Amino acid sequence: MYSNGYIFRYAAILVIVAAALLSLAAMLLKPYQDKNIAIEKMGGILASAKVEGVETANTIKAFNQFVVEELVVDKDGNAEPYKDGKMEDGPAFKIDMKKELYKMSKGNAYHLPVYVVNKDGETIYILPLRGTGLWGPIWGNIALKDDFNTIIGVTFDHKGETPGLGAEITTSAFKDQFVGKKIFHDDGSFMSVMVVKGGAKKLPEDMQIHGVDAISGGTITSNGVNDMIHDVLTVYLPFIQKNRKQ
């Protein structure tokens, strides 16, 4: 029979060894995890600009091929460019949108990333997005033509929205609605894009260019996407207004 002291010591040693092995594994795997996160981020940026043929194996190469410039934008819309180096090493790519938007909410100085893509001679500006869905954070990208008004494409992702309902924001059926929509009205006023419960056709005819259909049964997530696009584009508005073609 083993004494209680022996059993406790044995168990404690096992726990310490297991914890040490888990910590070691986490440290060894972190560089690979960080790389996978970066590749996923690059893929989302390129997908919003409708860059085709991008797979995990060639994402970094494609990112450096199509992203010709990165911009770090301040609250007044001033942009600091980066284009002489690997784009995944650029200061814009290292910006944490969650932290910067939190700084903005507290009235502190903040900086936002913009990615400039050249695809078939067309210049496209990609603005990252971040907001809140039903069960947690949602995020994505919105790609604009060089008129800073017409949407080329969008990507959305989420942490835990309901499958078959809010999680439908990641589907082509939802995202493709945004292509060709406008974020400014004809009179120059900022409109964003409205995610409309019951369908964009409920809007007046001259407003339908600013609307898409909400997800049936996913009202809260749809509202989250609506608010995310409006709120983040509003933060980017000084930069957009400085650069947009009337």
Q: How far is CA 3 from CA 40, 179, 183, 186, in A?
A: 53, 72, 74, 83
Q: What is the pLDDT along the chain (246 residues), one digit of tens a residue?
A: 566 666 777 677 777 877 776 776 666 656 666 778 899 999 999 999 999 999 989 999 999 999 999 999 999 999 999 988 899 899 999 999 999 999 999 999 999 999 999 999 999 999 999 999 999 999 999 999 999 999 999 999 998 999 999 999 999 999 999 999 999 999 999 999 999 999 999 999 999 999 999 999 999 999 999 999 999 999 999 999 999 865
Q: What pLDDT score was predicted for residue 84?
A: 86
- Taking alpha carbons only, the member of 184, 203, 195 closest to residue 245 is 184
Q: Are 83 and 130 in contact (CB under 8 A)?
A: no
Angstrom distance (rounded) from CA 183 to CA 110: 23
Residue 12's pLDDT is: 77
pLDDT of residue 36: 80
Record the pTM: 0.88
pLDDT of 138 reads: 97
> Given this model, what pLDDT does residue 26 score?
64
Block residue for tokens 């997800």: 215
CB 156 within 8 A of CB 162: no
